[in-house]
Structure 1
Amino acid sequence: MSDIAYVRGDATAPLGPGAKVIAHVCNDAGGWGKGFVLALSRRWPGPEAAYRAWHRDRATSDFGLGAVRMVPVEPALWVANMIGQRGIRGAGRSAPVRYEAIDTALGRLADQVIELGAAVHMPRIGCGLAGGTWSRIEPLITERLVSRGIAVTVYDHGKAGDARRA
């Protein structure tokens, strides 16, 4: 079993051969317009459109904390919209991250990624606008993905190729 690989670069341009899934955390409020999602939307319209439709149909769909939707964006490349935060952060409000939801979503993601024979690529999910801490997220990734033999690469924004261990 390998560790998480940490690299400097753009998580929307995942490195290496083979099938890949770009995983990221979304909110349960229907908001898409800040943070990593902007980089996704600049490259592909599909993940945002799928998220908005999923949220709009939430009364009759599985949309909610812990849910995952895989959106194909290129041959052998998918974006996993994972619902892992309650609402959005506002003035005076606590961090919207929900670690239990991220844990559930990662477990669901693992099953789909194994079926695809894919590697997972991501920014530091749950640690930006969601307000989470990497020391709580990293063990969830290790338990749900790495322990099942899934290769995981985490991208820190910056010049590609400047690898570092967090």
Structure 2
Amino acid sequence: MSEIRYVRGDATAPQAKGVKLIVHVCNDLGGWGKGFVLALSRRWPEPEAAYRRWHRGRAGNDFALGAAQFVQVDPYVWVGNMVGQRGMRTGSKGVPVRYEAIDRALAAVGDKAVELGASVHMPRIGCGLAGGTWSRIEPLIAARLTARSIPVTVYDHGD
């Protein structure tokens, strides 16, 4: 079992050799416009376009909490859009993050990483606008990814 590696830097510029899978959490409303997704869209238009198409076609596809979509953006870089957030705002039902959905999506990420022979890169998923806590997310990453010997790097944005 490998450990999660923490580094300062930009998760859209993964620091590793070989195939890299950058994952992040999306909401279930088709909204893309705040947080980490803006950095992704500045670098590559494809993940946003694919997510919006996936959401628009949701009546006939697997778009739902816990689903994951994988988009190749470079020969050695993929982006994983994980639906792990119900809505976009903290309200009467609490914060938008859904840990069970992130757990299910991370299981799919693990399968894709093994298939591609990829390392996984991410910001502190589910902890920004989604309102989650890292102490609840980190064990999910350990169970779904590092327990399978998939290298994981978490990026804390430096100033």
TM range (shorter): over 0.9
Match of 1:70?
70
* Structure 1 residue 93 displacement after superposition: 5.6
| Corresponding residue number in structure 1 for 2:83 | 83
- Distance in 2 separating the partners of 1:42 and 1:119: 22
Structure 2: stretches of 5+ with no match in the other structure: none
Q: In the TM superposition, what is the alpha-carbon distance from 1:61 to its structure 2 partner?
A: 0.5
Gaps of 5+ in 1: 160-166
Q: SS of the counterpart of 1:54? A: helix
CA distance in 1, matches of 2:91, 2:147: 38
- The question of whether the paired residues in 1 share the 8 Å contact of 2:123 and 2:154 is answered with yes
- Using the size of structure 2 for normalisation, the TM-score is 0.97
Q: 1:87-102 residue pairs with structure 2 within 5 A?
A: 87-90=87-90, 94-102=94-102
Name the aligned partner's letter for residue 71 of structure 1.
V
The one-letter amino acid of 1:40's match is: L
SS at match of 2:59: coil
The yes-or-no answer on 1:110 pairing with 2:82 is: no
Mapped to 2, the partners of 1:92 and 1:145 lie a distance apart of: 33
1:154 maps to 154
Q: Which amino acid aligns with 2:110?
A: A
Equivalent position amino acid for 1:55 in 2: H
The answer (yes or no) to whether the contact 2:41–2:48 under 8 Å persists in 1 is: yes
Aligned length: 159
CA distance in 1, matches of 2:129, 2:118: 27
Alpha-carbon distance between aligned partners in 2 of 1:51 and 1:139, rounded to the nearest angstrom: 26
Q: CA deviation at 1:94?
A: 1.9
SS at match of 1:80: strand
Distance 1:58 1:137 in 2: 26
Residue 39 (str. 1) matches residue 49 (str. 2): no
Partner deviation per Cα, 1:62-107 (whole Å, 9 max, x = no partner): 0000000000011110000000000111566621000000000000
How many angstroms apart in 1 are the aligned matches of 2:143 and 2:91?
33
Identity of aligned residues (%): 70
What is the distance in 1 between the residues matched to 2:111 and 2:22?
15
* Alignment partner, residue 56 of structure 2: 56
Structure 1 runs, 4 residues or longer, greater than 4 Å off: 90-93
Q: Is the 8 A contact 2:90 2:96 kept in 1?
A: no
